[in-house]
Amino acid sequence: MRERPGWRRMRLLPALRARVYDGTSVAARNSLVRPPVPLSPTVEPMELMRDQAVIRDDLTGLANEWYFHLIFDFAFTLGDRDIPMTLALFELDGLEAFAERKGRKAREAALKGFGTIFAQVTRQTDVTARYGDYRFACLLMVCNLQGAFVFADRIRAAAEALTAETGLTLSVGLAHYTRDYATREDLLDAAHRALLAAKAAGGNTVKLPDDYEETGIVWEPVGPDPV
């Protein structure tokens, strides 16, 4: 029987599961997971701008929470097809105290600065959004748990200058998809529990949900203590 177009590409996906979050494989992953969609020549520029306004956060330029949940709904169904994914929740430590000292404009500048860092580090295959007021959510596709730790460390390293300037650090909660999660809300709850554990540990660290087995992976963040 003749092989249908696309099957050969899908067979490559399990081989990517063991790959760490490596910048050299970005192009390959993009071609596997997110094929380019040509724009219709009839679409007016103003229509595109309006569409972007619907899905983007005004301050950071990242995806907004509504668009994140829209993609998350679809992506969660891919887990049963053995496509690995990890959900990462980031929270800025000490942002409220920082805003009280420096004012609203400084707070917005800090959020925008961290948003720029997330936009620069994440791949096209990932969805990164401003989540709530001072959190960021990253849905990492074709990314195992070890790769998610590498991603978190890359965010931390890219934010070193901004951390030194503002005193703001990041707490991170990670949850990797397994079939034990019946709904996307279950996976989101696991990432949230991990984030709360990171905050309870003093911030400026990354944690897994309390029901995860010990991974042996240790994150050693660099930066000042949370304000």
- Three-state DSSP class for residue 163: helix
Return the pLDDT at 82: 82
DSSP per-residue letters across 182-211: -SHHHHHHHHHHHHHHHHHTTSSSEE--TT
The span from the CA of 121 to the CA of 152, in Å, is: 10
Whether residue 194 is predicted with pLDDT greater than 80 in this model: the reply is: yes
* Chain position carrying tokens 């800025």: 92
Helix (H, G, I), strand (E, B) or coil at 91: strand
For residues 121 and 138, what is the distance between their CA atoms, to the nearest angstrom?
11
Average pLDDT, the chain: 77
Sequence letter at residue 166:
T
Residue 4's SS3 state is coil
First to last CA, the chain: 64
CA 214 – CA 211 distance, rounded (Å):
9
pLDDT at 52: 66
Describe the crossing of helices 95-102 and 104-121 by its angle, rounded to 10 degrees. 140
CATH number 3.40.50.1980 is the correct assignment for the domain at 44-207 = no
In terms of DSSP bridges, do strands 135-141 and 127-131 run parallel, antiparallel, or are they unpaired? antiparallel
Q: What percent of the chain has pLDDT over 70?
A: 69
DSSP string, 104-152: HHHHHHHHHHHHHHHHHHS-TTSEEEEETTTEEEEEEET--HHHHHHHH
* More confident: 32 or 115: 115
| Residue 51 pLDDT grade (very low, low, confident, very high; cuts 50, 70, 90) | low
